[in-house]
Amino acid sequence: MIIRSKAPLRIGFAGGGSDVSPYSDIYGGAILNATINKYAYATVLPRSDQKIILNAIDNHIRVELESTEYLEPEGDLALIKGIYNRIVRDFTGKPLSFELITHVDAPPGSGLGSSSTLVTAIVGAFQEWLNLALGEYDLAHLAYLIEREDMGMSGGKQDQYAATFGGVNFMEFYDRGKVIVNPLRIKNEILDELSYNLVLYNTETSRLSSQIIEAQRQNVLNKKTESVEAMHNIKKQAILMKELLLRGELNRMGEVLNFGWEYKQQMAEGIVNQNLLEIYRAAIRAGSTGGKISGAGGGGFMFFFCPRNTRHEVVKALKRFNGKVEPFEFTKSGLKTWKNI
């Protein structure tokens, strides 16, 4: 038997960072995101030899272990070991024997939610294999707990929910882990025009998002006025963007993205560097009306809104940098799991 799953990566249009505690706990957060046709994949092959094999084929890492109830979550593929520990603790109460094969269409540090999406895909594969009684909110919350509590990894809450639910969603985040996912019914022609007008650009630089997120957390805890006000405006941006999409007013998309670009930089140091500034300015000069760093910032992917037919000039302008334009389409579905007997 083969058990497979795939979960989509996402573009965060607005509100990024307002889903991170303690900001979301104190003030409430709001994010607008959409999933795209880049995925994290997980395959489970049950075994009967009391072995656990973890095989991250995109990273060329393979780990073979004895099957026990607890794997020390350190060294290579520590996060996957942490997922296994939570599955055994909460659901099976006994060791499992299997091979887990994973790969992701974007590298860690991309800003497309790749790490959290992979966790979601792996949890989904275990759910399919073991027939776990998990609804969509349950599964997303479990993936969040594994990363943020079990493994102590800094980050927000949006990625696990985007990967699980899929589509275009306006998400709200409140105290005590309360999350509300509001799917937006956007007409197909609006989504098609939006994807045509967006240029997704891989800077081919990575960043350690945890450092930026931790700086953001400290700014909230220390009540740094400029940073907290910036986060308020980033949350406001998510509401504005939602209203534009629902009304089909794509002509103002760049303006609202640029509004967020200005405030995003004030949330914490390291979000924007000189290279990213030069890329952004080049895109604007070529005809883009606004853009965004995807994820926490510091590197990874960016995207730019290019109205009418300006995308061609923007793509041309970006060629002088070291990254590359990545094709994509929006997806309407989230996590998928299946068996092949």
Parse the chain into domains and list their residue ranges: 2-185, 188-325
Q: What is the pTM of this model?
A: 0.94
Task: Report strand pairing: 324-325 vs 198-202.
Answer: antiparallel
pLDDT at 97: 98
pLDDT at 162: 97
Q: Which CATH class is domain 2-185?
A: alpha beta
Torsion sign across C-alpha atoms 263, 39, 88, 338 = positive
| Distance in angstroms (rounded) separating the CA atoms of residues 222 and 177 | 22
pLDDT at 111: 84
Do 2-185 and 188-325 fold alike per CATH? no
pLDDT tens figures, 140-197: 999 999 999 999 988 889 999 999 999 999 999 998 889 999 999 999 999 999 999 9
pLDDT tens figures, 131-147: 999 999 999 999 999 99
The phi and psi torsions of 337 (rounded to 5 degrees) equal: -135, 150
Which residue in 58, 159, 175, 192 is the catalytic one?
Answer: 159
Instruction: Answer yes or no: 150 catalytic.
Output: no
For residue 207, the 8-state DSSP code is -
Say which amino acid occupies 35: T
pLDDT at 332: 94
The phi and psi torsions of 138 (rounded to 5 degrees) equal: -60, -45
pLDDT at 176: 82
pLDDT at 177: 84
The phi and psi torsions of 170 (rounded to 5 degrees) equal: -100, 115
The stretches in the chain having pLDDT less than 70 are: 206-210, 270, 296-298
pLDDT at 220: 87
CATH 3.30.70.890, domain 188-325, yes or no: yes
- Residues present in the chain in total: 341
pLDDT at 296: 61
At residue 286, the 3 state secondary structure works out as coil
Torsion of CA 12, 15, 19, 21, to 10 degrees: 130
Torsion of CA 212, 213, 214, 215, to 10 degrees: 50
pLDDT at 148: 93
pLDDT at 297: 62
At residue 337, the 3 state secondary structure works out as strand
Residue 322 CB: number of other CB atoms within 10 A?
11
